[in-house]
Structure 1
Amino acid sequence: MEETLSIQQQTKDLIDRLKSTTSVNGLGNSGNEYVVIVQIFLYKFLNDKFIYSAKKEMPELVEDGKDIYDSLSAMSDDEYEELCDLMEDTVILNREHLIPFVSQRRNDDNFAKILDSTMEGIASLNQEVFYIVNEDDSRVPIIHPISDLISGGATKKNAFCKSLIDDISSFSFETIFDAGYDFFSTIFEYLLKDYNSNGGGTYAEYYTPHSVANIMARLLVDDGKDYRSMKIYDPAAGTGTLLIALAHAIGERKCAVYTQDISEKSSTMLMLNLILNGMAESLTHVIKGNTMTHPFHKDENGKLKQFDFVVSNPPFKLDFSDYQNQLKTNDPFKRFFAGVPKIPNKKKESMEIYLCFFQHVIASIRDAGRGAIVVPTGFLTAQSGIPLKIRQYLVDNKFLKGVVSMPSNIFANTGTNVSVVFIDKAGVNNPIFIDASKLGDEIKDGKNKKTVLKNVDIEKIVSTFHDAKAVDELSVLPSLDDIKSNNYSFSAGQYFEVKIEHIDITEEEFNQKIKEYTETLDTLFAEGKELEANIKTALKRLKYE
C-alpha cells in the first residue's frame, strides 16, 4: 500500500515536471500543451509496460541481478523479435525506441529529430491499434512528432526534447501495473485537472466527476453477477470517465468499449485512459465524429448498433443550428421520436442538443439492456415539449428504472443542477426516485464552489437504489399510475409525503397561543399603518419641496 502511494505521488510529480517543462518552453495553457504531456506520458507508460511484460515472459533477462536493458541490448535481432511475439498484451517497441537507448543520445545535435522519429516509429509499428477513426473511416495516428509544437531553432528544440526525456527517466511504473482502476483513475484525474476548468472551453463539458461516474456504474451493474462479452457505449464519450468506471464495475476483461465524440482532443485522452486501464483491445472502437448526423457504430444490416449498456454525459447546450434541419428531416435511424429542439432566436449556442442525445441513447440500448444519461434537473419537471414526450415514452413503455438528483455544484465547471436518468429495457413497474441534493460537503475549488460526495453518501445512494427502499426525504417509489397522474414528473420531491407535526396541548395552552398570534398580528398591522403614514408624509414633502 505504501509503495502504491509512493508511486502515485511520483507519478503526480512526473506530470508536474512535464507541465513545468511545457510552461518554460512557452506552451503553458496553450492548445499544444496537452498534446506534449499526453504523448510523453503515454510513451513513458508504454516503455515501462513493455519492460514489465518482457520480465514476465523471460525472467532470465534479470536473473542474478542483470540489468534488463543490458540483456535486451545483448539479444540478437531474432531473439528480440521472438520476445515481442510472446507479448500479446502490450504494444511493441523496437530496441531503439526504449527510453534508456533514446536518452543515451540526448546530447546529439539532432536529438529533437531522434525523439520525433522515435514517436513516429512507435506509431508505425503499432499502426493497427494506435489510431483514431474518423466518421468517414479515415485514420489519424495518436502519436505524433512533438518538437515542432514549440517555436525556435534546432538548439531550442533539442533542449526541449532533452528536458522531456530527463523528466520521464527518474522512476518506473513497473510496480503498479496490477494496481488497477482505483490507482489509474486517480492519476488520470490529476492529468486532466488543468484541462477541465472554465478555461478549458468546450473540452470542459466532457469531464464527469469520478463520484458521479462510479455511482452511475454501480447503479447499472448488478452486484455479484458474472457478466460476459458485454458491449458498452457512450455517444459523447469525452475522455472516457463514464465508460472506464462502467468497465471496472463489469470487469475490464468482460466487456468491449465503443465510443464516438466530435472532439479529437478528448478522443486522444480517452485512448490514453483505455491504455492506462488495460483495455487497449478497444482502441479501434474509438471514433472521432458527429454522433448526431453520422452515428458510426452500425450492425451488419446498416441499422443503428445496440449495446448492453449505454452511458452518456452529453453537452446540454450547443450550437447545432447548421444540422438542426438535417436531424429533423433526414434521420434514417428514426431516433428522434420526440422531436428535435428548436434553435433559439438570440442564442444559437443554447440549443438543447442533449435532448437529441437522450433519444439516441434510448435507440442504442438493446432489448433488456440498460442505460444512464446525465440531464439538467429541469428536464425532470418540464411541463411540455420534447422533455415531456421523452418522459412519457419511458414510463409508458416501462423503461424507466429510476432517477437520482445530484447536489448542486457537483460539476465544478457548471452551475447547472444535474440528475441522472436510468433506463432498463427489461421492464420496470416501480421506478425509484432519489433526491440526493442535500448530500455531500461544499468546498472551494479555485474560484468555484464544488460539492463533494463522501463515501457514506455514495453508499447511501447505491444501497437505497438497489434495495428499492423508500427513505424519508431521500427516496420514493411511485407507481407508474402515480407518475402519469403527476404529468410524468420525475422529481422525487413531488412524491414525498407532506408531514404535519402534531402536538397535544390543553385548551388553556391553545387559547394562550391564539392570543399570542393575535397580539403579534395586531403589532405588525399597527407597524404597517405607521409605516404607510410615514411614507405618505415623506411623499408630500417631496412634492412641495
Structure 2
Amino acid sequence: MVSNQNSKNLYQALWSSADILRSKMDANEYKNYLLGIVFYKYLSDRMLVFAVDLLEESASDLEEAQVIFTKAMDDGEVKDDLLYALKDEFSYLIEPSLTFTALVHDVYRGKFQLEDLAQGFRNIEQSNELFENLFEDVDLYSKKLGATPQKQNQTIANVMKELADLDLAHQGDILGDAYEYLISQFASESGKKAGEFYTPQPISELMTRIAIDGKEDQKGFSVYDPTMGSGSLLLNVRRFSNEKGFINYFGQELNTSTFNLARMNMILHGVDSANQHLRNGDTLDGDWPTEEPTNFDAVLMNPPYSAKWSGEKGFLDDPRFSMYGVLAPKSKADFAFLLHGYYHLKESGVMAIILPHGVLFRGNSEGKIREILLRNGAIDTVIGLPANIFFSTSIPTTVIILKKNRPNQDVLFIDASNGFTKGKNQNVLEPNHIEAIIDTYQKRVSIEKYAHLATFDEIKENDFNLNIPRYVDTFEEEEPIHLGELAQEIAATNDSLAQAEKELATLFGELVSTSPEIEKELAQFRQLLHGGGLE
C-alpha cells in the first residue's frame, strides 16, 4: 500500500464512512454502499477536473471546478463541444446538478434527495455497456438504511459528507490500493462469506509472481481468472509487470454483486476498458471464452472449495474434460475447475490454483484425472500452505502449479505449512515466507524437511498419490529422556510440595478469631488439614 498523507486521509475518510453503515448491516452488505458511492465520486471528480483542464481554466478545489463546469454547461456556444469531448474521453456524462460535489452542496443546504443520487447512478449505467447495471447492488431505499425515507436520506447524506473533502481524481494508484484494502477489510469482517470475493494479498502475490516469472517485460501479457471474485488476483499482475499498460485481463464471476465489484476495481486501478474482458456467468456450466483469444499466458484461480456442480454425462464430450474419460464428482468440483483453467492455458503459460489438500490424494474419478495429468507432465509443483490463512476457511490448502509441454514428469513438493506469522484472526504469510517459497520454486531442488523434487517413478510407486508428507518428511525426533535426571526432578518437586504444604498448615494454625462461629469453622478446617496429613 502507498503510505503518505494522502493515503492516510483517504483511509480515514473511508473508514469514517464505513462506521456510519457498520451498525446498520453486516460488512457483506454495507461494502456495496460504500464502494459504490466511492466509485461514483471517483467518476464525478475525474470528469470535473478534466472539464476544467479542457476549458483551459484553473480550480484550486472541486468546489471551484463545479462552478466552472456549471457555467460552461449553461453556455450554449461551449456546451456542445464540451459534451462531445467528455463523452469521447469517459463514455459517460454526469449533469452539473448530479455531480457528487453538487449533491454534497445540496446536503449542506438541506435539499439533498436520494432520488438525485439514484438518477446519477442510472445515467452512468445507461451511458455505456462498460457501466451497465454497475450500481444495482446499491439499494438506496433499503429499510436497513433507516425506517423512513427521511432517515434513509440522512444515512446516505452522512456517508457523502465524510467523503466530500477527498479529491479522488488526483489520487492515482492510491485510490486503487485503498479500494483493494477496503475489500480485504470487508472480507475479514464478512467471515466465511468472503471466500467468494477476495484472496488475501500475500497468497495473490505468491501465485502471481510464479505465474509471471520470466515474463515481467512481455507486452500484451494475458491473464485469466475464471472465478475472479473482486479481481484481486488479476490485478496483482500489474504489480509485477514492467508493461502494465499492455496487460489483458480476462475474468468470469458467477455472483453478480461480486462481478460488479471486480468491474469497479478494474476501473479504479486505471485499467483501460479495451483491456478488460469480464463476464458474469457460470464457469463450469458454460465454457468461456470460446472466441479468440481462448488461451492465456497465465491462469490464476481460487475457486470455491469442494463445491457442488451438475457433473452431467454430457460434459464427457466437452473438450475441457473429454480427454480424461471421467468427470469430477458432483459433490466436489475441484478438478472440474482445475481442468477448465488448464484447458485455457497457453502452451507456454503457467497456471496457479488454490485447492484443498483432498485433490492430492482422493481416489476414484479424481485419482484417474490426477494420474493422467501426472503422466502428461502437467503438474509442475505442489505447495502446501499454512492452515488458517484465508478468511473463508481454516483448513490448510495447496497451490498447484501446472504447465504444458514440460520436458519431464517430475514434481516439486514444497511444504510451507510452518512458514507463517500467527495473527489475531488469521495466520499471515510474511515477505520472507513468500521469498523462501519462490526461491525454492525457481531453484527446483530438494531441501531437507522443506522441499523434495520427486521423480515420476517415485510418484508412480506412490500410486499417483501427491499427499505432501509422502515426499517431504518434516518429522522432528524428540530429544531422548534421561530417566536418572527425570527421577531427580520428580524428587525435587515432591520435596517442594511437602515444604509448601507444611508452611500452609502452619499459617492456618496461627489463625484466630473473636467470633465463636468463625473460630468453630477454623477448627474444622484445621482438622481437615490434619486429616490430610499437611502438618
Same fold (TM over 0.5): yes
> Alpha carbons of 1:492 and 1:30: their partners in 2 closer, same or farther (altered >3 Å)?
closer
Checking the alignment, whether the CA contact within 8 Å between 2:45 and 2:169 is kept in structure 1 is yes
Among 149, 160, 184, which residue is 2:142 paired with?
Answer: 149
> Alpha carbons of 1:391 and 1:170: their partners in 2 closer, same or farther (altered >3 Å)?
same
Checking the alignment, whether the CA contact within 8 Å between 2:142 and 2:152 is kept in structure 1 is no
Distance in 2 of aligned mates of 1:102 and 1:283:
32
1:254 matched to 2:256? The reply is no
1:81 maps to a residue whose letter is L
Q: CA deviation at 1:200?
A: 4.9
> Alpha carbons of 1:379 and 1:31: their partners in 2 closer, same or farther (altered >3 Å)?
closer
Q: 1:483-518: CA deviations, max 9, x gaps?
A: 2333234345433479999xxxxxxxxxxx99x889
Instruction: Name the residue aligned to 2:106.
Output: 105
> Alpha carbons of 1:34 and 1:52: their partners in 2 closer, same or farther (altered >3 Å)?
same
Q: CA deviation at 1:95?
A: 3.0
Instruction: Name the residue aligned to 2:397.
Output: 418
Among 424, 439, 442, which residue is 1:463 paired with?
Answer: 439
Checking the alignment, whether the CA contact within 8 Å between 2:211 and 2:350 is kept in structure 1 is yes
> Alpha carbons of 1:519 and 1:145: their partners in 2 closer, same or farther (altered >3 Å)?
closer
> Alpha carbons of 1:17 and 1:103: their partners in 2 closer, same or farther (altered >3 Å)?
same
Among 56, 61, 67, which residue is 1:70 paired with?
Answer: 67
Q: 1:400-454: CA deviations, max 9, x gaps?
A: 2212111111114312210101111141534422111110111221xxxx21111
> Alpha carbons of 1:428 and 1:40: their partners in 2 closer, same or farther (altered >3 Å)?
farther
Equivalent position SS for 1:367: strand
Matched ranges for 1:320-335 at <5 A:
320=309, 323-325=310-312, 328=315, 331=318, 333-334=320-321
Instruction: Name the residue aligned to 2:520.
Output: none
Instruction: Name the residue aligned to 2:94.
Output: 93
Matched ranges for 1:176-255 at <5 A:
176-179=171-174, 184-185=176-177, 187-197=179-189, 199-201=191-193, 203-223=194-214, 225-250=216-241, 251-255=243-247
Distance in 2 of aligned mates of 1:478 and 1:51:
60
Instruction: Name the residue aligned to 1:170.
Output: 165
Checking the alignment, whether the CA contact within 8 Å between 1:235 and 1:361 is kept in structure 2 is yes
> Alpha carbons of 1:33 and 1:111: their partners in 2 closer, same or farther (altered >3 Å)?
same
Equivalent position SS for 2:380: strand
> Alpha carbons of 1:91 and 1:369: their partners in 2 closer, same or farther (altered >3 Å)?
farther
Instruction: Name the residue aligned to 1:158.
Output: 153
Q: CA deviation at 1:223?
A: 4.1
Instruction: Name the residue aligned to 1:526.
Output: none
1:16 maps to a residue whose letter is W
Q: 1:124-148: CA deviations, max 9, x gaps?
A: 22x22113xxxxxxxx444577432
Q: CA deviation at 1:315?
A: 0.9
> Alpha carbons of 1:153 and 1:221: their partners in 2 closer, same or farther (altered >3 Å)?
same
Q: CA deviation at 1:519?
A: 13
Distance in 2 of aligned mates of 1:40 and 1:324:
40
Instruction: Name the residue aligned to 1:130.
Output: 131
Distance in 2 of aligned mates of 1:160 and 1:314:
36
1:49 matched to 2:46? The reply is yes
Checking the alignment, whether the CA contact within 8 Å between 1:42 and 1:272 is kept in structure 2 is yes
Q: CA deviation at 1:326?
A: 5.6
Checking the alignment, whether the CA contact within 8 Å between 2:223 and 2:250 is kept in structure 1 is yes
Distance in 2 of aligned mates of 1:289 and 1:49:
31
Equivalent position SS for 1:463: helix
Instruction: Name the residue aligned to 2:495.
Output: none
Q: CA deviation at 1:464?
A: 1.9
Unaligned ranges ≥5, structure 2: 73-77, 487-535
Q: 1:271-328: CA deviations, max 9, x gaps?
A: 122122112516862222211112232126xxx93222111111112343xx233665
1:432 maps to a residue whose letter is L
Instruction: Name the residue aligned to 1:9.
Output: 8
Among 288, 294, 308, which residue is 2:297 paired with?
Answer: 308
> Alpha carbons of 1:487 and 1:50: their partners in 2 closer, same or farther (altered >3 Å)?
farther
Q: 1:105-157: CA deviations, max 9, x gaps?
A: 334656121111111112222x22113xxxxxxxx444577432236444233
Distance in 2 of aligned mates of 1:401 and 1:391:
12
Taking only the aligned residue pairs, the percentage that are identical comes to 20
Q: 1:162-201: CA deviations, max 9, x gaps?
A: 223312202223443044xxx7345423334234556553
Checking the alignment, whether the CA contact within 8 Å between 1:61 and 1:72 is kept in structure 2 is no
Checking the alignment, whether the CA contact within 8 Å between 2:97 and 2:103 is kept in structure 1 is yes
Equivalent position SS for 2:312: helix
Distance in 1 of aligned mates of 2:55 and 2:79:
16
1:14 maps to a residue whose letter is A
Equivalent position SS for 1:194: helix
Among 274, 278, 303, which residue is 1:286 paired with?
Answer: 278
Q: CA deviation at 1:17?
A: 2.7
Checking the alignment, whether the CA contact within 8 Å between 2:180 and 2:232 is kept in structure 1 is no
Checking the alignment, whether the CA contact within 8 Å between 1:232 and 1:309 is kept in structure 2 is yes
Distance in 1 of aligned mates of 2:295 and 2:451:
31
Distance in 1 of aligned mates of 2:264 and 2:349:
28
Q: CA deviation at 1:42?
A: 0.9
Distance in 2 of aligned mates of 1:59 and 1:336:
62
Instruction: Name the residue aligned to 1:536.
Output: none
Distance in 2 of aligned mates of 1:116 and 1:404:
47
> Alpha carbons of 1:193 and 1:63: their partners in 2 closer, same or farther (altered >3 Å)?
closer
Unaligned ranges ≥5, structure 1: 132-139, 344-350, 502-512, 521-545
> Alpha carbons of 1:459 and 1:108: their partners in 2 closer, same or farther (altered >3 Å)?
same
Equivalent position SS for 1:123: helix
Distance in 2 of aligned mates of 1:330 and 1:224:
34
1:277 matched to 2:266? The reply is no
Q: 1:192-243: CA deviations, max 9, x gaps?
A: 4234556553x53442111001000001112464212233211111111211
Equivalent position SS for 2:224: strand
2:437 maps to a residue whose letter is I
Distance in 1 of aligned mates of 2:129 and 2:369:
40
> Alpha carbons of 1:56 and 1:405: their partners in 2 closer, same or farther (altered >3 Å)?
farther
> Alpha carbons of 1:36 and 1:200: their partners in 2 closer, same or farther (altered >3 Å)?
farther
1:361 matched to 2:362? The reply is no
Checking the alignment, whether the CA contact within 8 Å between 2:378 and 2:406 is kept in structure 1 is yes
Q: CA deviation at 1:329?
A: 5.8
1:306 maps to a residue whose letter is N
Among 394, 397, 407, which residue is 2:376 paired with?
Answer: 397
Distance in 2 of aligned mates of 1:143 and 1:270:
14
Q: 1:67-96: CA deviations, max 9, x gaps?
A: 3333323323134225425636x8543433
Distance in 2 of aligned mates of 1:285 and 1:442:
38
Distance in 1 of aligned mates of 2:138 and 2:370:
49
Among 474, 478, 501, which residue is 2:450 paired with?
Answer: 474
Distance in 2 of aligned mates of 1:214 and 1:500:
30
Distance in 1 of aligned mates of 2:204 and 2:474:
32
